[in-house]
Amino acid sequence: MDSRQRQPSSPDSWWKNGIVYQIYPRSFQDSDGDGIGDLRGIRQRLDYLVALGVDAVWISPIYPSPMADFGYDISDYCGIDPRFGTLADFDELVQGAHARGLKVILDFVPNHTSDRHPWFIESSSSRSDPKRDWYLWRDPAPGGGPPNNWLSNFGGPAWTLDPRTGQYYLHSFLREQPDLNWRNPAVRAAMYEALRFWLRRGVDGFRIDVLYHLVKDASFRDNPANPAFVPGGDPSHSLLPLYTADLPEVQEIVREMRGVVDAFSDARGDRVLIGELYLPLARLMAYYGLDSEGVLQGVQLPFNFQLIGAQWQADVIDRLVRDYEAALPPGAAPNWVLGNHDKPRIASRVGPERARLAAMLLLTLRGTPTLYYGDEIGMTDVDIPPDEVQDPFEKNEPGRGLGRDPQRTPMQWSTGPHAGFSHASPWLRLAGDWAALNVERQQSDATSMLALYRRLIALRRAEPALHAGAWEPLDAGADILAYARTVAQRRLVVLLNFADAQRGIDRALLGERADVLASTHERPEGKHAERLVLHPLEGVALAVHGAISMPS
């Protein structure tokens, strides 16, 4: 495919009209035989991504790290961990991606560093060290013990005592991940310079890890109990994060970050910020940064994770989409996420047939879709035996099923040794079905999940109504999620049957003629003048002519 044909309609809209593909680098492609994926491996697979049809590659952390949390504990923000390669490998990857019309987005982890970062080593050396205030240090509570009741997201208290200096330091995650003090201007300056380091190397944007955690209460008040907490659940949810997350001061930092990346916008387009924000809808909208003059100064794409946790029912998702669309600030770009490295895979959550329906939903809603590697071939979670667990979350809370290893297993490329991922035994075991479920087999199967994703992505790219058009909810009866996508005189209707039985569609939705553009099932393209009957769990996208508006 000619890369020139893959460019979005205008340089400043690539992140609005395009598709983001997340790569967990340890698990995508190993090039050097150590069982761990790397940058050269990603570069080897760029043509696959072009053929799939995505626009941008988001790469999870590749910075130098002791790997206590597999790269989310960073010891150098301006380097590459040797496990993944070198800065030269990174530069070649960016060049190769750009030559193919692909954008490159890096993970940025600003809330915390590794405890082996030089900043923390200096900060912990003494109470009088110049970098002491770069982290959050507090005296023990009266009578001893942690300064307050704050909890780590990975289990246990969020405070660890440093015997040498007699103070506790805060870590919202592992004790090996001390939180930075974002109230300190020197910290902000250093982190913004790290962003500039990668922007100068051609990076097209950043996904910002736990953005809403950056600022903590200045008075270090106790978090209140969570009245909705169910005993036996994730212990970190037993308290409401009133004083540890989503504080108003975060918005100033977001505006500053936006200013840093905006300064690098050029003929290749805007640089994009994507915020990881597990927040209620009303609070999520605040991160677009709408000011009193109607200007959006925040992250361009506050991640919308609602589909990940939603009940897989037509009426539930219909209400979810309507509420999200209604809440968006004027001019804000929506986005949708089906899966990521922290949550169970979509095919495991809803089953393989419903995962096909989910693919059509993701790729026909209004807004930027994000795909997680392997979902396009229907990969599922893999049971990891206790003696093979790698994830520190599971190790800290064993037996609770909180670990994320199951959705981080190696990409299944072929029927060759180790699924074509590596010449050596992979860092995590492969799924039991890898010999049957892989890219190689699905490429030649027109009914495969991969073929479906490619058809849907190609349709989305070809139809302005899908990648840039308006969205309108429709009523098609029980168990059917229906909506229209329109631009100018072009009107598309998407019908998703969530039922395990056939469902008929009224002619009023089909107008004078409805041409089938895509289906999750084996349905030939054709014209339907009367009624359309959807198969169980089938989704269809139709081009409708002379449509009759239905009440919504």
C-alpha to C-alpha distance for 483 and 476, rounded to whole angstroms:
9
C-alpha to C-alpha distance for 154 and 207, rounded to whole angstroms:
21
Of 30, 21, 22, residue with least CA distance to 85 = 30
What kind and span of H or E run contains 17?
Answer: helix 14-17
C-alpha to C-alpha distance for 283 and 65, rounded to whole angstroms:
32
Give the Cα-Cα-Cα angle 536, 434, 18 (nearest 5 degrees). 65
Longest C-alpha distance within the chain, in Å?
80
Identify the active-site residue in 69, 73, 209, 318: 209
Instruction: Let me know: does 269 contact 204? Beta carbons within 8 Å.
Output: yes
Residue type, 33: G
Instruction: Let me know: does 32 contact 40? Beta carbons within 8 Å.
Output: yes
Identify the active-site residue in 276, 391, 463, 538: 276
Question: Which 3-state string (H, E, C) describes 254-288?
Answer: HHHHHHHHHCCCECCECCEEEECCCCCHHHHHHCC
Instruction: Let me know: does 106 contact 203? Beta carbons within 8 Å.
Output: yes
Coil, strand or helix at 123:
helix
16-48 burial by CB neighbour count: b if 16+ within 10 A, else e? Answer: bbbbbbbbbbbbbbbbeeebbbbbbbbbbbbee
C-alpha to C-alpha distance for 357 and 520, rounded to whole angstroms:
7
176 has catalytic annotation: no
C-alpha to C-alpha distance for 384 and 387, rounded to whole angstroms:
8
Which stretches of 335-425 are assigned E, i.e. beta strand? 335-337, 368-372
Structure tokens, 480: 């059917």
* DSSP category for residue 387: G
Beta bridge partners of 62: none
Of 37, 31, 48, residue with least CA distance to 443 = 48
Q: What angle separates helix 449-462 from helix 352-364, to the nearest 10 degrees?
A: 10
* DSSP category for residue 179: B
C-alpha to C-alpha distance for 153 and 142, rounded to whole angstroms:
25
Q: For 399, left (φ over 0), alpha (ψ -120 to 50), or beta?
A: left
388 has catalytic annotation: no
In angstroms and rounded to an integer, the radius of gyration of the C-alpha atoms of the chain is 24
Catalytic residues: 209, 276
